[in-house]
Chains A and B, each alone.
Chain A
Amino acid sequence: MSTMEELFTYPPSRDMSCPFDPPPGVTEIARSDEPIRRVQIWDGTPAWLVTRYAEARQVLADNRFSADPSTPGFPEKSAAYAATVGQDKNLRTLDNPEHDRQKRMVIRDFTVKRVEAIRPKIQETVDGLIDAMLTRGAADVVTDLAFPVPTMVICELLGVPYADRAYFGGRSNTCLSREATPEEAAQAGKDLYEYLDGLIDQKIKEPADDMVSRLAVEQLANGTLSRKQVVEMARIMLVAGHETTANMIALSTLALLRHPDQAAEIRESRHLPFIANAVDELLRYLSVAHTGRRRAANEDVEVGGVLIRKGEGVIVANNVADRDASVYENPEQLDIHRPNARATVAFGYGIHQCIGQLLSRVELQVVHGTLWRRIPSLRLAVPFDEIKFKDDGSVYGLFALPVTWDAG
C-alpha cells in the first residue's frame, strides 16, 4: 500500500508545556472534519486512527476488529512490543471465543464483591505507606506510594512474592518501553516467563489461596489451560496489574497538586461516591494507557462513514476520545464534579475493557481518600517544570514526584 502524501506518524510527541493533555496533533485530528484518518506507525505501516468517542466505542465493541497482533495489518505499538508482549496469547490479545473462556477462569478475583472485600486490606496498605512517609518527613510519591500500592495488591492476588518486585518490575518496564530494543524486550519477556514458570512449580508443591495456585491446581491439572497459557495469564496480570495503576496514582496526585481547590474538596469529603467520581474524572482526564488500543479488521467494516477493509489496522486513541466535546462539557478541564465522568474509555470498551478496572478504581479511591486527609499540606518539593514525565512507553506517568509537607 503506497501513497504519495506524507502520513501523520502516530503517536506524535506531547506538548510538554501542557503535560496532562494528549498530543496536540491528535487532538487536531479529532476536531477536524476527518476524525478517522490514515496515519503511519513507527515502522511506517499505515493504520486508521479513530479519535472520537462514539466511533472509538463502536470499534472497540465490534469483534470483527481483532486484538490479536498476528492478524494481518495489526499496528503493533513498538518494536519491543512486537518482540514480546505482542507474541503472547493472553487476555489482552485473544479474540473470542477463547478470550471469554480464559477470562471466566480468573474473573472471580475481579468482581465488585471481591474487590470491595479487599478494600480494607488496601486501606491498611495505604495507611502503612503514608505512616512511613510521615516518619521520614519527605517522600517520592512514585517509589513510596504509587508503585507499592498496586504492586502489593497484585502480588497478594496472584501469589507472587512482593520481595521479588525489583526483578519483575524492571523487566515489566522494559517490555512496555518504546525505547527498549527488541532484543532487550525479548530477554525481559523471557526472564518474566521463566520466573513465573518457576513460581508455578512452587504453587503445585505448596498451593495457597491465590490466582496462580488456582490456575496451577485447577486449570493446569485438568488440562483446560496449558502450562504456557498459565504463565502468559500470570504475566499479563502482573505487568498490567501494577504499571498502569502505579503511574495513574503518581500522575493523578500531581494533577491534584496543580488543582489545589479540587484537592481540598477531596480532602474534606467523607462521601465515597464523591471520591469515586473524582477518580473516574482523573482517569478520563489523564488516560495513562495513552498509545491507543490497537486492532486489525477481520472483515470490511464501515466506521463513521469510512470503509475500513479487511487486513487494515486500526488505532483507537481512547485518550483523545475521552476529550470529545460532544460527550463531555469543557473536556480539557479537570472537573471532579463532572456528572458523566464514569463514561470514560480510559479502561477501553468491549470485551477487552480492563479486567482490573474495578480494582484499579478502588486502589485510587483509597489513595486519594487517604493521602489528602492525612497530609493536608502536601506540596511539590521541586518546581513543577523539573518534574520528569515518563513518555517513553505505553503507559504515561512520572519518573519521580518529590513532595514535602509542614512538619507536625
Chain B
Amino acid sequence: MKSWLLWAAVVGAVIATMRFARVVELLRTGSPAATLVALAALGLPVAALACWRWCPPASFRPEGFLGRVVRNRRFTVGLTVVASLSAAAILAPVLTPYAPHVQLDLATLARLPPSFAHPFGTDGFSRDILSRVLHGARYSLSVAALSIGLAITLGTMVGLVAGMSGGVIDGALMRCVDAGLAIPRLFFLLVIISLWDTVSLPTLILVLGLTGWFGTSRLVRAEVLSLRQREYIVAARAVGVGRWRLVQRHILPNIASPIIVTAALGMGNIVLIEAGLSYLGIGVRVPTPSWGNIIRDGHELMATAPWISIAPGIAIVFTVLGFSLLGDGLHSAINPRRR
C-alpha cells in the first residue's frame, strides 16, 4: 500500500512537470482550476510523501507530531499566508474587478494613486494594479510550484542514486552537483536564456526546475549516507534485502521530511528568482503579469507613480515570508531538538 502511494506520488509529480505545457495553456485561458492544478503539482507529491511518513498506523502519532506542528507559531502563520495567497491567486478572476491587461482609459485613468476604486492605484497604461498583482500571483506561484516540483523530483532521484550507489557514480554525480552549485544561479540562468532566443513560460519553468535540484540532491545524498550507517539498515542489507526495496521501505520515509522542508524553502527562493528575471525583462513576458515585470513597469515611473512598484514588491515579501515560515516551522516540528 505504502509503496503504491509513493510511486503514485512520484509519477504524479513527473507527469505534472512533463505536461506543464498543457497546464500552462490552461493557465493562459484563465480558469481557476488551472492554478489549482498547478499548485496541486507541488501539493500532491508533498502531501503523499507526508502521508507516507505519518499516515501508516505504526508511526501515526497525531498528538505528537501534529500537536507540535499546530503549536508551532511559525508554521501556522506561514500556512495562513501561503494558503490565503494561493486562494487569492486561484480566485483572482472572481476577486478582481478587471482583467489584468485591460487598459481602462489611457487619457484619464493612467497613473492614478491608490483610491477606493483602485486600492493599489493604476499603472502607466491605466491598468488596475490590484488586478495585475492578483493575476501576477497566479503566474508567480504556478511557475514556482511547477519548477520546484521538477527540481525536487530530480534532486531526490539523483541524491538517491548517488547515495545508494556510492563509489564512482556517487563521485561523478556529486562533482557535477558541485559544478552546478559553483555557477551562481542567476549567471547559470542567464546563460541558458541567452542561448535560446525567446523564453516562453514552459521553457522558463523547465529552466528554473533544471537548475534548482543541486542543493536537494546533495541533501538527499547526505541523509541517505547517514541512514546507511544505521544499524537496522546495515542489518537489513546483511540479510539480503534488495537495494530498491530498502529505498522504498526505509530510506524514502525517513528523508521525506527534509525534502518537504526544502520544497517549502525553495518555493520562496524560486519566487524571488522568477521575479528577478522578470524584472530584468527576460522572465515572464508582457503582457502576462508577473510581480517582477510589474515592478519593471513601475521602475520607469518611480518618481511620479511609486505605487506601481510598491504593491507587487510587498506581495513578493509576503509570499517568500510565508514559505520561509512554513518551512522553518515544519523543520523545527520535525527536529524538536534544534530550536
Chain B associates with chain A: no
Query: B: which residues have CB within 8 A of A?
Result: none
Residues of A that sit less than 8 Å from B by CB: none
